[in-house]
Chains A and B, each alone.
Chain A
């Protein structure tokens, strides 16, 4: 499906924690994406041209029938704070659907471990939901503290464990501490979260000799592969520039862990 700018309508917006918020965006019925792949993202425009770049936000859920997109993000900079201030009914321009998501066929029938840290958690929900009844899914979600979000949504589609850095909820420590403590077995790992977490997860999967897929984050401009702003170091020559810098927005954001240097 070709990429383009959609005009969506903000249906719902609510705070999940002090700084994490959820937006439900409705596509026009006659003009909606047929489907999305978990791990794909959209570029959300603020509506204020002084903040001209689209904000890359991973897809937390998509109801293809209703054409409703669920996005969960952290109000961190001026752009995301602007989005958090929008009222239902607001028109939100969305560039999409962007990037390559997870290869569901490669996960089918497997014992899949989904690891999400902070704002890396939302895309894992769509992945868990799509793998429901197709794989044996366990999700481990890492938060800073007891202000968790989406954990109940995960509980409806898979087994879920919560880890918090300060130990105020669930298991004290990071997602891998929780995996080890609970003795969670898997034969494939998918992860999205901060870089130190992804490095550790890649190492964890390598030690066990199981495949690992990571979803990367990088500062982006165009979102469609034209500007080469959001590259990541790759193990081999990349397809676009024939160096070792693949575009996170286009070749990614989901990569096989061994293909990228973290």
Chain B
């Protein structure tokens, strides 16, 4: 691994990372959809310790989402088919972004954007252009929202096209969030990069299904849902590794992080930052434990900063 072991560093390691010109004080953020806009967890944990908060997906008008049941626990994970219920970008800017302003600039605010059509995505991106959002994460990969046969993120040409259009009008750096429900993640990563994305994040949830055997019916009203949680972590590490080796833009790794070791795997595989999702539900302090654990790891390995270990495993 890197050159860490050569040094004996007394000072606290530098946890800061840079994603497309935005400096995060540490590489740990929340994964979209698992943390609302911070309000719900703000009374439980100190949000200001996070490198960034990634908000739940916001669309141009309010979305009702899917019928219930929307969630189901699975072994070491959960399925969700929320369907991106959200109040729309106007309420979001007025209420949620205003709330998050108290944590800036120490904690960056990354707004996750969703839509059914190109036009809807562009509307939201445009509305956000004169706000204090630090970055945009474009959700072209939600398995629970249908638009044609494939999500925007499943076809390289479509992904490249929508990325280009978004980047043309976006005032903030654009992160394209990729789906794992594809044959070649490297190909999709390259498509996002060639479309002008400033960074990519992955993985979104894996499409799954759960059947209630006693009642002989689907557990989720939507039949299928997105699988998240520790069960998907090794899949996510593999995909982050492949994506990081396919592109030059920064990669944000996520999928089932439960502890610092899980996050470190992503960093060593080539991610510049990581996001904690499902496990916020298991332990709202997971992000804090991950930050502390990364710092401890860097100290133990004599690293001066987290940047030394990014992509160290080849």
Contact = CB atoms under 8 A, between A and B. Distances in A.
Interface in A195-248: 218-232, 240-245
Contacts of B62: 241-243
B85 A243 contact: yes
A49 B282 contact: yes
Interface in B1-46: 33-36, 40-41, 43-44
B284 interface: yes
A79 interface: yes
A45 B91 CA distance: 34
Contacts of A104: none
Interface residues of A, number: 35
Given A3-B44, A227-B33, A222 B280 contact: yes
A158 to B, nearest CB: 33
Nearest to B70: A229
Interface in A55-113: 79, 95
Interface stretch (B73-81, B110-118, B236-244): B73-81
A52 B65 contact: no
A52 B87 contact: no
B64 interface: yes
B63 interface: yes
Given A226-B35, A226-B40, A220 B64 contact: no
Q: Would you call the interface of chain B mostly helix, strand, loop, or mixed?
A: loop
B201 interface: no
Interface in B201-219: none
B68 interface: yes
A219 B91 contact: no
B186 interface: no
Nearest to A243: B64
A160 interface: no
B68 A228 contact: no
Nearest to A95: B284
B99 interface: no
B36 A219 contact: no
Contacts of B278: 52
A228 B56 CA distance: 10
A107 to B, nearest CB: 28
A2 B34 contact: no
Contact of A224 (B40, B56, B75, B76): B40
Nearest to A93: B283
A52 B281 contact: yes
B229 interface: yes
A101 B254 CA distance: 36
Nearest to A244: B64
Nearest to B38: A226
Contact of A243 (B36, B63, B71): B63
A45 B282 contact: yes
B230 interface: yes
Contacts of B64: 241, 243-245
B314 to A, nearest CB: 31
B257 interface: no
A219 B230 contact: no
A4 B40 CA distance: 11
B82 interface: yes
Contact of B44 (A219, A220, A224): A224
A53 B78 contact: yes
Given A228-B82, A230-B70, A245 B43 contact: no
Contacts of A54: 281-282
A5 interface: yes
Given A52-B78, A52-B278, A243-B85, A230 B71 contact: yes
A52 B278 CA distance: 9
A225 B39 CA distance: 9
Given A219-B72, A226-B41, A49 B80 contact: no
A184 interface: no
A98 to B, nearest CB: 11
B86 interface: yes
A51 interface: yes
Given A225-B40, A242-B91, A53 B73 contact: yes
Contact of B230 (A49, A228, A250): A49
Given A226-B40, A229-B82, A50 B282 contact: no
A225 B86 CA distance: 12
Contacts of B283: 5
A49 B283 CA distance: 10
Interface of B: 33-36, 40-41, 43-44, 56, 62-65, 68-73, 75-78, 80, 82, 85-88, 91, 229-230, 258, 278-285
Interface of A: 2-5, 45, 49-54, 79, 95, 218-232, 240-245, 250
9 contacts: A219-B72, A222-B280, A224-B40, A227-B82, A228-B70, A229-B80, A231-B68, A231-B85, A243-B64
9 shortest interchain CB distances as A-B pairs:
A229-B71, A226-B36, A52-B282, A226-B40, A2-B43, A243-B64, A219-B69, A242-B87, A221-B71
